Chain A
Amino acid sequence: MADTDRDGSGHGTHEHAGTAPVVEEVTDFEVLEIALRELAIEKGLFTADDHRRYTEHVEQLEPAAGSRFVARAWLDPDFKRLALDDAIAASREMGIDWLHPTGFGTPSDFTAFELLEDTPTVHHVIVCTLCSCYPRPMLGMSPEWYRTPNYRRRIVRWPRQVLAEFGLYLPEDVEVRVEDSNSKHRFMVLPVRPDGTEGWSEEQLAEIVTRDCLIGVALPRPGVTSTASRPVHPAIRPVHGD
């Protein structure tokens, strides 16, 4: 593939053919939605993490392939090695062939796919700063927020601030690496397998690897699954009257 941009930095060298255009302008309504949400969070009406989970629920995405992929990598050292060396070959073992468009992918989806392995001291998060390139054969359609200039512009400059807006606060000693996707090169995060999952089956593990964990804006946790019913619990900081 002569025109493959292996270093992932060549946005200027190709066109993002086939990808959807976006509104490249900050609008009053976008600003109003963010302002209301921030004030509501500050007043304790809900938390940023609550909001993130409801958004995930609302968008009803089923990143089943990516979840199974990660669960298998956690359980099978040979598969993990293959996944890190040649993620496209590992995808084929899971029944996903990037060479044959599934209806989700663009024609350029197949060129390069790479798994980003988190460690206790390194956390990855993916973005497409120019448009909305996304590993669709693995994760389905991208979330609405992934396509906004708000996320695309700010995650690369202020990653900790943006991750905090998703309710994810990383310790200072954890390095954050933001990987910029493009039409030739797609990424997915391999999170650290969380404590409390010892002895779990592949199916159990896959349930806690939600879409946001594979993008890198959340961490997998026992008990938190994408198919769980919506969180319902009394407000921690209820507001009474005026």
Chain B
Amino acid sequence: MTTDHDTSPTRVPTLEHIVERGQTWERMAARYHVTHPAPPWKSSLDAMCDALDEEGAALPLLTRRDDEDRMSREVYTALPYPENQLVALAHSLVTRNVIDEEELARRMEAVRARLDAAGA
């Protein structure tokens, strides 16, 4: 795994679908009159980045950060921060073959079903 291989041209339809639906924190917070500036998953995302940097070797720190900069600037330009940080991380993990896109899509369905069931 190299740090200079550019994976930004690779399309990830699962992530594009999320971008199209546009459930950004800015929009959702306004709908529910929430004034907190950051979404509740932000600190968990930061912890995930720290854990990947410190505990694993699958996505080296510099690769992750370079990808984040490049994806935010060139691919996920419609997303605000920190949504672009999260989606860039997902893009890196998928296009660098750490996580399979189909596996991610299936897991997202399962997670959504679990969370929706808890709210039923």
Chain B residues within an 8 Å CB radius of A57:
47, 50
> Is the C-beta of A169 less than 8 angstroms from some C-beta in chain B?
no
Q: Could you tell me the distance between the alpha carbons of A19 and B44 in the complex, rounded to whole angstroms?
A: 22
Give the docked Cα–Cα distance between A230 and B52 (Å).
13
Q: A15 CB to closest chain B CB, in angstroms?
A: 15
- Chain B residues with CB under 8 Å of A44's CB are 56
Given A39-B104, A43-B99: A33 and B51 within 8 A (CB)? no
> Which bracket fits the contact residues of A?
35 or more
- Among B3-11, B31-39, B66-74, the stretch that binds chain A is B31-39
- A57 vs B50: C-alpha distance when bound (angstroms): 10
**A29:B119 contact, CB within 8 angstroms:** no
Instruction: Considering the complex, give the chain B residue whose CB is closest to the CB of A146.
Output: B40
Task: Tell me if A51 and B111 are in contact (CB < 8 A).
Answer: no
Say whether chain B's binding surface is mostly helix, strand, loop, or mixed.
helix
Q: Smallest distance from the beta carbon of A123 to chain B beta carbons, Å?
A: 21
The answer to whether B31 touches A23, judged by C-beta atoms less than 8 angstroms apart, is yes
Q: Which residues of B contact A58 (CB under 8 A)?
A: 43, 46-47, 50
Instruction: Kindly identify, within residues 109 to 160 of chain A, every residue whose CB is under 8 Å from any CB belonging to chain B.
Output: 143-145, 147-150, 153-154, 157
Whether B24 lies near A29 (C-beta < 8 A) is: yes
Q: Which of the 9-residue segments A6-14, A63-71, A80-88, A234-242 touches chain B?
A: A234-242
CB <8 Å contact, A29 and B99: no
CA distance A59 to B33 in the complex (A): 23
Given the complex of chains A and B, what is the CA–CA distance between A145 and B44 in angstroms? 8
| A46, CB-defined interface residue at 8 Å | yes
Flag if B98 contacts A149 (CB, 8 Å). Answer: no
- Contact call B104/A35, Cβ cutoff below 8 A: yes
Mark out the residues of chain A between 24 and 82 whose CB falls within 8 Å of any chain B CB in the assembled complex: 24-40, 43-47, 50-52, 54-55, 57-59
Closest CB in chain B relative to A124 CB, distance in Å: 21
| Residues of A that sit less than 8 Å from B by CB | 20-40, 43-47, 50-52, 54-55, 57-59, 143-145, 147-150, 153-154, 157, 230-233, 235, 238-242
13 contacts between A and B (CB under 8 A): A27-B23, A27-B28, A28-B18, A40-B52, A43-B99, A44-B56, A52-B47, A55-B44, A57-B50, A144-B40, A154-B118, A230-B54, A238-B56
